[in-house]
Amino acid sequence: MKKSGILNPELIRAVAAIGHTQTFVIGDAGLPVPEGVPVVDLSVTHGVPSFAQVLSAVAGELVIESYVYAEECTRANPEMEAFMQKTLQGLPASRVPHETFKEMTKKAQVVVRTGECSSYANVILVAGVNF
Does the active-site annotation cover 20?
A: yes
Spatial contact of 51 and 28, defined as CB atoms under 8 Å apart: yes
Q: What SS3 class is residue 51?
A: helix
For the chain, state the CA radius of gyration: 13
Of the residues 20, 75, 106, 107, which is catalytic?
20
Give dist(CA 9, CA 36) in Å, integer: 20
How many C-beta neighbours within 10 Å does residue 26 have?
27
**Pairing, β 123-127 against β 64-70:** antiparallel
**Longest CA pairwise span in the chain (Å):** 42
Known catalytic residues?
Answer: 20
